[in-house]
Structure 1
Amino acid sequence: MIILRTIAEVRDAVARAREDGRSIGLVPTMGAFHEGHLSLMRRARAVDGFVVVSLFVNPTQFGANEDLGAYPRDEARDAALAEAEGVDVLFAPPVAEVYPDGFATTIHVEGITDVLCGASRGPHHFDGVATVVAKLFGIVAPDTAYFGQKDAQQVLVVRRLVRDLDIPVRIEACPIVREDDGLALSSRNVYLDAESRARATALSRALAAADDAARRGERDAGALIATALAVLGDAGIVPEYLELRDAVDLRPLDALEGDALLAVAARVGAARLIDNRILRGGA
């Protein structure tokens, strides 16, 4: 594996791989790798002949009072983990390489960025995500890009970006990776002390309780949300949001009919955590 810092170096490495007839897989990350990230790398390794992992803590998707400065960073550890997974290139650019002096372009995806995390974190968040992902697609020109389903709204934003701008990249969303007790893996889990870590399992348990109710035939969105809220309440967690929305366009739902996204965000101790579950409303 090689670590590259510049766009020119990455484009040269990808061009040589294409000359060898290899397909290109991209795993965009902000580092602080855990098993969720590694599962994306394994999937890319299984599908593509040449795997690029980006490691870039993107400043434009953080708000003024968010954790940009505190976000966990350990490039040496991340590089060792990526190399062990057979990654070919770790692209770890400085901020000035991605956003050079005079950078003045922002990509905004309408509608689906205004709700859930877009509402609670502000419009800058998904503008930053869409812009940096578009840049990475332009730099790497991958055949396939791999994202985790834990960031379900982000996946939908990227799919819409690719569709609307006719970017020839296949987007693959990979399953959420969880701890044995159900907690979704996240780089921000390092912020949790022991008490908060135990309480945080309520997020996945709340989603599972609503899913169980749906499987038993409950279709009313209010009732499903109430079921999940009860579990969160028992753990002393007040969510930033807990909403049932269409799994494709994120419109709000009054009842479960087709596939729906039940998504939650909450502050638990020092960490802001998100999780989600697809509820099946079909026959």
Structure 2
Amino acid sequence: MRIFKKISDIQSYLQIQKDKGLSVGFVPTMGALHKGHLSLLETCKTACDMGVVSIFVNPTQFNDKKDLEKYPRTIEKDITLLVNAGCDVLFYPEVEEMYPNGEITRIYDLKALENLFEGAFRPGHFQGVCQVVDKLFSIVQPQAVFFGQKDYQQCMVIKRLIDTTPAFGSIEMTIVPTMRETNGLAMSSRNARLSEEEKQLAPTIYQTLLFLKGALKAGPMAGIKEAATLKLNERRFITDYVGIADAYTLEPVDDWDGQKPLVALIAAFLGPVRLIDNLVIA
């Protein structure tokens, strides 16, 4: 595996590979890698000749500086995992390389996606996501990119970024199903910050999503959302939202017609750690 920290160096290397006719797939990450990330790389390697992974803890998508400071950084372990998984290229830049002189890129038109669910609780988060993904896509210029369904709203935001940026029009985006622990907990870098007791409680989020799926029927959604929130609160969660939304637009659905595809989304704190998860329920 080759490791690059400079934009010019990785661009030069990848251009040589592309000139040879090799296709490039790309998996952007913020490190603290786990099996979920490796499943993205595995899917990437199946679809493309070369698998490129980036590790960059992007400061512009953190609206809480304490959350940025606490974000786990495990680069030596990450490198070992990537080598063993057959990664071809790792891009591991410093903040100054990605944002010289504090440079901020354009403002992105995300429509309602920017203010729903995660957007409502993390102002500016998705602008920061788009800033870094725009830069990374422009640097790597991949044929295909791979993201995890666990960050469902982020996937919708990135899909909009691709669809509204002419330079990215040829990029094929694949959303890979969420990897879960045996108890149902969605794999996440943030799980490392949970205490042992909290790890026992954390699967309640997935159990609550399954409850929503099982209780779903045509008509008003308020009752089952309230019941789901109560389930979380009884297990010591502090809930930001329990949402049921159109699976394509993420517009909240208050009264279901029994036909429209739906996704359930949850964000809740367990102790100091904020966890998110989702499930397509119809």
When normalised by structure 1's length, the TM-score is 0.94
User: Does structure 1 residue 188 correspond to structure 2 residue 190?
Assistant: yes
Matching residue within 205, 208, 211 for 1:209 = 211
- Distance in 1 between the 2:11 and 2:65 partners? 35
1:120 aligns to what? 121
Give, as a single letter, the amino acid of the residue that structure 1 aligns with 2:121: S
- Distance in 2 between the 1:157 and 1:151 partners? 10
Shift of the 63–102 alpha-carbon distance from structure 1 to 2, 3 Å rule, reads closer
2:200 aligns to what? 198
1:112 aligned counterpart, secondary structure:
helix
- Distance in 1 between the 2:66 and 2:122 partners? 9
- Cα pair 2:237 2:271 within 8 Å, conserved: no
Once the two structures are superposed, what CA deviation does each residue of 1:192-235 show, in whole Å capped at 9, x if it has no partner? 11121111111000000111122xx4543223313422321331
Greater mean alpha carbon deviation, residues 17-26 or residues 253-262: 253-262
1:142 aligns to what? 142
- Cα pair 1:148 1:175 within 8 Å, conserved: yes
Shift of the 64–181 alpha-carbon distance from structure 1 to 2, 3 Å rule, reads closer
Give, as a single letter, the amino acid of the residue that structure 2 aligns with 1:107: I
- Cα pair 1:106 1:128 within 8 Å, conserved: no
1:67 aligned counterpart, secondary structure:
helix
RMSD: 1.3
Give, as a single letter, the amino acid of the residue that structure 2 aligns with 1:208: L
- Distance in 2 between the 1:160 and 1:147 partners? 14
- Following superposition, the deviation at residue 63 of structure 1 comes to 1.5
- Cα pair 1:206 1:232 within 8 Å, conserved: yes
Once the two structures are superposed, what CA deviation does each residue of 1:56-89 show, in whole Å capped at 9, x if it has no partner? 0000001144411111111111011011111111
- Following superposition, the deviation at residue 50 of structure 1 comes to 0.8
- Distance in 2 between the 1:66 and 1:153 partners? 23
Identity over the aligned pairs, expressed in percent?
38
- Cα pair 1:221 1:255 within 8 Å, conserved: yes
- Distance in 1 between the 2:233 and 2:64 partners? 29
Aligned length: 277
- Distance in 2 between the 1:232 and 1:155 partners? 25
Q: Which runs of 5+ in 2 are unaligned?
A: none
1:249 aligns to what? 249
- Distance in 2 between the 1:34 and 1:156 partners? 22
1:260 aligns to what? 262
Give, as a single letter, the amino acid of the residue that structure 1 aligns with 2:177: P
Greater mean alpha carbon deviation, residues 177-186 or residues 193-202: 193-202
- Cα pair 1:211 1:279 within 8 Å, conserved: yes
When normalised by structure 2's length, the TM-score is 0.94
1:107 aligns to what? 107
- Following superposition, the deviation at residue 270 of structure 1 comes to 2.2
Q: Which runs of 5+ in 1 are unaligned?
A: none
Once the two structures are superposed, what CA deviation does each residue of 1:65-118 show, in whole Å capped at 9, x if it has no partner? 441111111111101101111111100001011000151323322320111111
- Cα pair 1:205 1:231 within 8 Å, conserved: no
- Cα pair 1:209 1:227 within 8 Å, conserved: no
User: Does structure 1 residue 78 correspond to structure 2 residue 78?
Assistant: yes
Shift of the 83–219 alpha-carbon distance from structure 1 to 2, 3 Å rule, reads farther
- Following superposition, the deviation at residue 155 of structure 1 comes to 0.2
User: Does structure 1 residue 131 correspond to structure 2 residue 120?
Assistant: no
User: Does structure 1 residue 161 correspond to structure 2 residue 164?
Assistant: no
